[in-house]
Amino acid sequence: MPASLAFGLIPYALGVSGERVDVSVPAGPPEPAHWAGTPPLRLIAPDGTAVGDTEVGLAPAVMADLLRRMIVARRLDRECIALQRQGELTVYPGFEGQEAAQIGSAFALGPEDFVFPTFRELAAALVRGVDAVQYLQYHRGTWHGGPYDPRATRFGPISIPIATQIAHAVGHALGQKLDGLSACTLAYFGDGSTSEGDFHEAANMAGVFGVPAVLFCQNNGWAISVPTTRQTAGEIWRRAEGYGFPGVRVDGNDVLAVYVATRDAVARARGGEGPTLIEALTYRVGAHSTADDPGRYRDDAEVEVARAFDPIARFRTWLLAAGHVDQAFISSCEAEAEAFAMEVRAGVVDTPAPPVEWMFDWTFAAPSEAFQRMRREALGE
């Protein structure tokens, strides 16, 4: 075991297995402020050139499929924002800029692994096979959590309360361990969640019991209107040391790096080596949600800096240069994304309002007479 693991950290200056790798960041545009500090695992630079070993065990066709998924996810995300503006969805949280973090991590999971999401993981949900129209019924207000089957998709219901799903994930992972299952549980959360007690309680429990879990933090720079640099001290990935398990810092806008970091963490979990904390450095290009006005607390210049690190442009440039895709393939992905967005739009708009009686169903095991009377009056019975 490398000495770094004994202290609960995986410094990618030495690599997971102890070999030295290049983590130098080539000259380029200034990085977002919250990326400062320890250089993250990075295989593809923001300009699309390789800076690490891109032989990650994925065939060229599979890597091309990662790009396709990212293009489709971004187009759907933009369509969801349009649907909200047109009154077809309620509050919707966009994820533009975070496609690599979500898709690279979800792609590293196996069919038996389980995901506990926040309310921003639509891209990850698509990778797990969740029906987009069913997922969006939560944001349409026609079903709480979405009517998709979490057991079949291995993707839990949308979670709005900050950080509570991390504790749920660790509990689920403990159950998997006690049942002797070779599977892991991945919890998504943002940088703001790491300031919540739920995160610390869950991380402590994960370390004490050595559960097969991956705690995946998408550090997108903002906890609603509070920047990461003002709501947490130090680097999030380093917190793992205090709980007795490894932490990893990865460029969350580099889909291959995210895939590798998650793949290795999943392998550790399945191998009985316990949890891993991954801090994926990314950026929230849009608003916190469609109910938010980021112009009140964020400069447009900061967003333009972040756009230089766009995950889709970076990966597309590298794939083209490597000869793994051509412009015709990219055009086909864009056409597929457009058609898919229109299909989802039609499905969302056609989703009927829930029956009125649902206000009264699943409320009391033994309804009182007063409750029954209210039900009869509301339904005109």
Active-site residue numbers?
284, 288, 297
Please name which of 163, 294, 277, 260 lies closest in space to residue 216, comparing C-alpha atoms.
Answer: 277
**Contact predicate 250/257, CB 8 Å:** yes
Buried b (16+ CB within 10 A) or exposed e, 62-99: ebbebbbbbbbbbbbbebbbebbeeebbeebbbbbbbb
- What's the CA gap between 143 and 193, in Å, rounded? 25
The encoded tokens of residue 233 equal 């001290």
CA distances from 300 to 29, 38, 293, 295, 305 (A): 16, 26, 12, 7, 9
C-alpha torsion angle, residues 348, 105, 100, 150 (rounded to 10): 0
SS3 50: strand
Sign of CA dihedral 167, 173, 215, 5: positive
Residue 3 CA, chain-centre distance (Å), reads: 30
